[in-house]
A and B are shown apart, each in its own frame.
Chain A
Amino acid sequence: MRENEKFLERIFQLARRAPEREASEPPFGMETAVLAHWRAIRHAPRRAENGGLLPRLRWAALIACVLALSSGVLAREELAEISHLSTPEARITDFAMLAGYGND
């Protein structure tokens, strides 16, 4: 393994020394395509100009989450209050009233 370590180091060393290809001139087609893209994104409507839909959607989602959470907390408190008040007898009476007993 030690031999391979030395060999690998030598390969790296020699590969670094290998002559590099000269950087050629950029092809005309590439320059044209890149600049056309730059022009296109420059003229495309920006986020702020099209009303900033994404930030508005983010705010709407955030507000919806807050509302859902607060209504959940309120409903839980209400339920806890009701279940605290109702004794087994009261629950039986509620059930009987709901079932329509005593209306006859």
Chain B
Amino acid sequence: MPEEEFDEPECLRRIEGGEENAARELFRHFHPFVLKLVRAHLPRRLSEEDLTQMIFIKVFTNLPSFRRQMPLQHWISRVAVNTCLNELKAEKVRPEWRYADFSEETARGIEKLATNESETASTSESAAAKELLGQMLPQLSPEDRLLITMLHLEEKSVDEIRALTGWTRAAVKVRAFRARGKLKKMLSQLETSARR
């Protein structure tokens, strides 16, 4: 549905009045947005459809308490981020991570990444970087994983993260620094195991 067709206050008013079509419109309008958030913070044990559905059920359950002090999209993203964080926290076991687990192609891509410092990069290098991060991020705590994704992949500002998570500015900065430290340590380990 194109952006200009969605009239948020009108849609909310109609939902309040019990119009099912308005609830459907809201769902269809925000589905791509929620799906994008879910894909960025998806725990391993859940499918993206399950988590998206869980988020929409929470959205509709809590919609009567939405005070309209912020845009609906912002409120929905808060619900989505908190749901993802809780699901990540529920994921007790973190997967083991070894260099040997990468496919030959990815391992080659990572080696190329480490040696090639030019600004331009091939699609395979971008894919290798994404896969490497996909293996490294689950090693972090749920909060660190969420923060690194929002700060470095989604390029959200510290203030935006603060608004979404409720953490203080200092907490965001300190946590980000520590999480980056952990990732750097992982890269060192990767380097060591690649040399063997």
What residues of chain A have their CB less than 8 Å away from a CB belonging to chain B? Answer: 1, 4-8, 10-21, 23-24, 26-27, 30-31, 33-35, 37-39, 41-42
Task: Name which residue of chain B comes closest to A33, CB basis.
Answer: B53
The distance from the CB of B131 to the nearest CB of chain A, in whole angstroms, is 9
| Assembled-state Cα–Cα distance A26/B56 (Å) | 12
* Cβ contacts B17-30/A at 8 Å (1 or 0 each): 01010011001100
* A–B pairs, 17, beta carbons within 8 Å: A1-B188, A4-B184, A7-B113, A7-B114, A10-B129, A12-B152, A14-B113, A14-B129, A15-B153, A16-B153, A18-B129, A23-B32, A26-B28, A30-B52, A31-B28, A35-B23, A38-B23
Cβ-based interface call for B127 (8 A): yes
Cβ-based interface call for B133 (8 A): yes
Cβ-based interface call for B36 (8 A): yes
- On whether the beta carbons of B127 and A11 are closer than 8 Å, the reply is no
| Assembled-state Cα–Cα distance A24/B39 (Å) | 12
On chain B, the residues within 8 Å of A15 by CB distance are 126, 129-130, 133, 153
| Assembled-state Cα–Cα distance A89/B1 (Å) | 93
What residues of chain B have their CB less than 8 Å away from a CB belonging to chain A? Answer: 18, 20, 23-24, 27-28, 31-32, 35-36, 39, 49, 52-53, 56-57, 60-61, 113-114, 117, 121, 123, 125-130, 132-133, 152-153, 155, 180, 183-184, 187-188
- On whether the beta carbons of B60 and A38 are closer than 8 Å, the reply is yes
Interchain CB contact (< 8 A) of B127 among A12, A18, A33, A34 = A18
CB-CB under 8 A for A35 and B132, given A7-B187, A14-B121: no
The distance from the CB of B78 to the nearest CB of chain A, in whole angstroms, is 18
Interchain CB contact (< 8 A) of A34 among B27, B32, B123, B187 = B27
- On whether the beta carbons of B155 and A14 are closer than 8 Å, the reply is no
| Assembled-state Cα–Cα distance A37/B60 (Å) | 8
- On whether the beta carbons of A12 and B153 are closer than 8 Å, the reply is yes
| Assembled-state Cα–Cα distance A24/B113 (Å) | 31
Task: Name which residue of chain A comes closest to B125, CB basis.
Answer: A14
On chain A, the residues within 8 Å of B53 by CB distance are 30, 33-34
CB-CB under 8 A for A31 and B24, given A15-B129, A18-B127: yes
What 4 pairs across the A-B complex have the smallest Cβ distances?
A14-B129, A23-B32, A18-B126, A4-B184
Task: Name which residue of chain A comes closest to B24, CB basis.
Answer: A35
| Assembled-state Cα–Cα distance A13/B116 (Å) | 13
- On whether the beta carbons of A26 and B27 are closer than 8 Å, the reply is yes
On chain B, the residues within 8 Å of A42 by CB distance are 18
| Assembled-state Cα–Cα distance A77/B52 (Å) | 62
Interchain CB contact (< 8 A) of A41 among B27, B60, B153 = B60
